[in-house]
Structure formats: C-alpha cells, structure tokens
Amino acid sequence: SLASTAITCFTRGLDLRKETEDVLCPANCPLWQFYVFGDGVYASLSSVCGAAIHRGVITSAGGAVRVQALPGQENYPAVNANGIQSQVLARWASSFSVTGIKNPALEAVGRSVSTARPSTGKRPKKPLDKKAGNKDCKADIAFLIDGSYNIGQRRFNLQKNFVGKVAVMLGIGTEGPHVGVVQASEHPKIEFYLKNFTAAKEVLFAIKELGFRGGNSNTGKALKHTAQKFFSLENGARKGIPKIIVVFIDGWPSDDIEEAGIVAREFGVNVFIVSVAKPTTEELGMVQDIGFVDKAVCRNNGFFSYQMPTWFGTTKYVKPLVQKLCSHEQMLCSKTCYNSVNIGFLIDGSSSVGDSNFRLVLEFISNVAKAFEISDIGSKIAVVQFTYDQRTEFSFTDYTTKEKVLSAMRNIRYMSGGTATGDAISFTTRNVFGPVKDGPNKNFLVVLTDGQSYDDVRGPAAAAQKAGITIFSVGVAWAPLDDLKDMASEPRESHTFFTREFTGLEQMVPDVIRGICKDFLDSKQ
C-alpha cells in the first residue's frame, strides 16, 4: 500500500502497532533528543527515527522508513554512528529493525501528512505566531523534577525526555506558556526560571543539559521552596496567569509534603503530582505518609494527580497531561483570599473618635489592606466614612494599585458628627457593593465604630449579608457588644472584635486578615 504513517521525532518502536509498518520521519529532529538502544537490532524503547538515522537509512532531513518488529533480546550494545550515540540495555521484551524505502510516490503521500506535525518540520510561514506560542494555554509552570538516588541516573534521563516532550507540546512562546525547572534532591536547585527562555527549542536544550544531583528525595522541601521563591515578578512570573507546579515523584518523598502543599495553596499555586512507579505493597512500610499525593495537590478531586506505571513508554501520557495544564478554568488554587476579595471599610467619623484616634483607625485599615494583592484583576478596596451622613472616600474601581489605595487612605479627612451605623451599612451595600455584586471576587465589609448607633443595625446588616457580603465588626471604647454581634456574620464570635483603646487596633490586624482568608477558603470548599 502507498499509505505511510507520519510519525514524530519521539515515536518509539513500541508505539507502532503492526509487524511491519512504513513510517515517515520528519525533518530536523534534534539528534540529542533521540533515545536509541542497540545497533541494527534496536530495543523497542528506542526512537524509530533515531534508530533510522543511527543505521544510516535516512539523514536528519527525514524520510520514509520500514519498521520490522522483532523479538526481545539481551545485551543491546552501545554504538556511536551517524551522530547518534546509542545506549546499552541489558534486556528488553521486544525489538525492531529499520530499512529504507525507495518509493518517491510513497514519500510524497507521507510528506504531505507530516507537515501537519507540530514543532518538527521546516519553519512555518508566520514566524511571529511561532514566537507567540499557544495563546490558549497561558500558564506559568515549574516542573519540579526528581533528582534523588531513588530515581537514579538512567530514569532521570527518561524523566528529562518526558518533561521535554511536555514542554514542546505545551506550545511555549512569548504569549503562551512559560516554563522553568527545579530539581529536588537533598536540597532544591532552581535550574532555570520562567524568564530565561521563551522558545521551546531553548527550553529543550536547557532540559537536555540538566545534570543529575542525587541525594534524598526531599520533595516537600523543594515544593515549599518553589512555591515561595520561583514565581516572583522579577523571576518572570506574569500577573493574572495561573501558577502551576508539576511535581514528579519516583516512588515516594523522603520528607513531609503536607505543609508544602498548604504553603503552595496559600501562595495561589496549583500543584499537580505526577507519580511514577508508586510504592508496592512491600514498600508501603517505608513510606512516611501513604496519602502524600492527596495532601500535596491543589484539590483532592482527581484532576491534579497523574500516574504513570514506569518511565518507559510515556509518550502516550504527554498529551493528557498537557491538556490538564492548559485547562485554565480548572486551576482552582489560582484564586486565593489575597487576590480575589473586595474589602469595604466602613469607618466611624463621629465626634467621640477625635482626630488622633481617627489616625489610628486609618493606620488599622491600611495595615489590613496592605496584606492583599490589589490590582485591576485582583483584590479591590473601598472606604466609606460615616456620621449621621455617609461619604464614599473611594469606591472599588477608583484605585487599582496598592500604592494608590494606601495613599488615598492617608488623605482621608476626619468628618466629626453623630453615629448612624445602620444607615451607613445600607448606603454601603447599595452604593459601594452594588456595582460589583456580580463580579468574581468575594465581598467583605469591615465596620469600625466606637459607640452606640442611633439607629437599628440588625436589619441593614441582615440585608447586606443576604446580598452576599460577609461582615466583620470591630468595636472600640464605648461600642456595645450587642450592636457588634448584631452586625457580624455567623459564627458571630469569630466575626466580632473589640478593644478598649484605639491603640489596641494594631494587634487585631492579623486576626482580621486571617478571618477574611478563612471565610474565603470555606466558601470555596
């Protein structure tokens, strides 16, 4: 038959299904990407096109090859030929041989198919698009590879090979995914950052160059280090783009990974675990924590864990993993309480507060706001001051950077007057939260008062909560506890704060931030 199957640089003998199969190798496969075992008779683990170049059947310009399946054998030799160094393999269950096909018609048929293969053939017509990469897969990804004695040098190389294939298929580019690599061993080592390369070719070369470190597989330590240090803006992380760590574990980690998982979630990082060769029944006794995968992944819902039986024959696992990494809407950990909340501060400007205490109130709300990632796509802040009357100092859409928010807070002038807290809550629900009520962020209102309200607070607070706003009440000096509890969301104890003196506000800052984050997480579960 004239039909010949177009294959990729990575297709191995064991990926082909027939006894004899005619295939078409693409042009310009990088020689160092080839894994070839044997000489003349190749272990089916070998790259078909690599074996064909090694054998001299084709050159790196590609071409048609006939692949013949053969039984397995022992002692495949290592031979350097035609620019490819084949490797020794003690035994493998099946083999193949390669011969050339001289049939121009066949080549023509196959060649037209093979131009559709990604990232192999000649340069595409529009070099710009290639540079931009896959715009439908915007993600900042760290591959946390296993460099421990557990995995050993040989499987470490297979792991690099797999990571290289994933990197190519992702479609790395200036406007597509960016990747970096961290190696976990005794101590983690960031091999390269997101900003170092924006082309697949460069990334492949960098992966190829990685040296094996050895040591214990302190995956927990490496995961924590990566979550905290890898995704900074100066290291090339992009705002508003999902941060992902793909953790490769051969066997099991030698340290605790649960705390690292918590840290990663706090930092808004989506953790995937690719476990290879999971512990056998005999080995389970050596595993510190059998549930290590569930504890480290972003969500224990099956989506973030991925299993491969061995490092051999992993090509078929590349595409499903890439599809997961490109599923933007599944990245449940990208949204954290720090970057996905609207916080409105409703502050008491009544005459009992006084000028110097009012400064302490502004300091308190600044310190709470400071903890959040304020931006047009992140968290937002608004402030309303009230007496009998209300004044919107600024609304959620007025300032989209932390600097501007903090500077606007410093410039708030003290009003002085009576205290109508209930009215103020209704005003804020309607005018400040109304415009953002259908937005993606979770809404919080922090009410700060130093005295008894002249009007009813219970009705307005209930209406605000019904509109999806979580209320924290902060009372100072003469604020009656009953009022504070009536305003606060359930459970009231954890949403009500009180201090005798304005100077006591400072100590409450971490508790208020923690309260907001706890509510945010509970709402996501």
Q: Is residue 391 part of a domain?
A: yes
The identity of residue 23, as a single letter, is: V
Q: Is residue 218 part of a domain?
A: yes
The identity of residue 46, as a single letter, is: S
Q: Is residue 239 part of a domain?
A: yes
Are residue 60 and residue 188 in the same domain, yes or no? no
Q: Is residue 263 part of a domain?
A: yes
Handedness of CA 131, 137, 138, 140 (dihedral sign): negative
**Long-range Cβ pairs for the range 485-489 (8 Å, 24+):** 486/457, 486/458, 486/461, 487/421, 487/425, 487/447, 487/457, 487/458, 487/461, 488/461, 489/465, 489/519
Give the integer Cα–Cα distance in Å for 273 and 271.
7
Are residue 393 and residue 471 in the same domain, yes or no? yes
Count the neighbouring beta carbons within 10 Å of the beta carbon of residue 408: 16
Q: Is residue 127 part of a domain?
A: no
Q: Is residue 109 part of a domain?
A: no
pLDDT in tens, the chain (525 residues): 457 788 888 788 888 878 888 999 988 877 766 788 999 999 988 999 999 999 999 988 889 999 999 988 888 898 888 888 888 888 888 899 999 887 544 444 443 333 334 444 444 444 446 788 888 898 999 999 999 988 989 999 999 999 999 999 999 999 899 999 999 999 999 999 999 998 999 999 999 999 999 988 899 999 999 999 999 989 999 988 999 999 999 988 888 899 999 899 988 999 999 999 877 766 666 766 778 888 899 988 889 999 999 999 899 999 999 999 998 878 888 888 889 999 999 999 999 999 999 999 999 999 999 999 898 888 999 999 999 999 999 999 999 999 999 999 999 999 999 999 999 999 999 999 999 988 889 999 999 999 999 999 999 999 999 999 999 999 999 999 999 999 999 999 999 999 999 999 999 999 999 999 989 988 876
Are residue 309 and residue 395 in the same domain, yes or no? no
Task: Tell which residue, 205, 201, 203, 168, has the closest CA to residue 8.
Answer: 168
The identity of residue 488, as a single letter, is: A
Per-residue pLDDT tens digits for 227-257: 999 999 899 999 889 999 999 999 888 888 9
- Report whether 466 contacts 430 (CB < 8 A): no
Q: Which of 36, 70, 100 is the last residue of a domain?
A: 100
Q: Is residue 126 part of a domain?
A: no
Residue range(s) defining the domain that contains residue 186 = 140-330
- Report whether 6 contacts 24 (CB < 8 A): yes
CA-to-CA dists, residue 180 to 196, 219, 223, 238, angstroms: 8, 17, 14, 13
Give the integer Cα–Cα distance in Å for 421 and 327.
45
Are residue 320 and residue 386 in the same domain, yes or no? no
- Report whether 437 contacts 443 (CB < 8 A): yes
The identity of residue 19, as a single letter, is: E
Give the integer Cα–Cα distance in Å for 165 and 176.
16
Are residue 151 and residue 92 in the same domain, yes or no? no
Q: Is residue 202 part of a domain?
A: yes
* Confidence (pLDDT) at 68: 93
Give the integer Cα–Cα distance in Å for 349 and 451.
11
- Report whether 303 contacts 277 (CB < 8 A): no
Are residue 325 and residue 351 in the same domain, yes or no? no
Q: Provide the token pair at 402.
A: 């932390």
Tokens 């009998």 identify what position? 388
Q: Provide the token pair at 268.
A: 């808004």
Task: Tell which residue, 376, 377, 151, 176, has the closest CA to residue 247.
Answer: 151
Q: Which of 271, 304, 330 is the last residue of a domain?
A: 330
CATH number for the domain spanning 517: value is 3.40.50.410
Are residue 345 and residue 241 in the same domain, yes or no? no
Length of the chain: 525
Per-residue pLDDT tens digits for 102-148: 754 444 444 333 333 444 444 444 444 678 888 889 899 999 999 99
Give SS3 for 374. Answer: strand
Are residue 171 and residue 87 in the same domain, yes or no? no
Are residue 414 and residue 493 in the same domain, yes or no? yes
Are residue 518 and residue 385 in the same domain, yes or no? yes
Are residue 362 and residue 500 in the same domain, yes or no? yes
* Confidence (pLDDT) at 525: 62
Query: Domain count of the chain?
Result: 3
- Report whether 348 contacts 418 (CB < 8 A): no
Are residue 477 and residue 367 in the same domain, yes or no? yes
Q: Which of 82, 100, 118 is the last residue of a domain?
A: 100
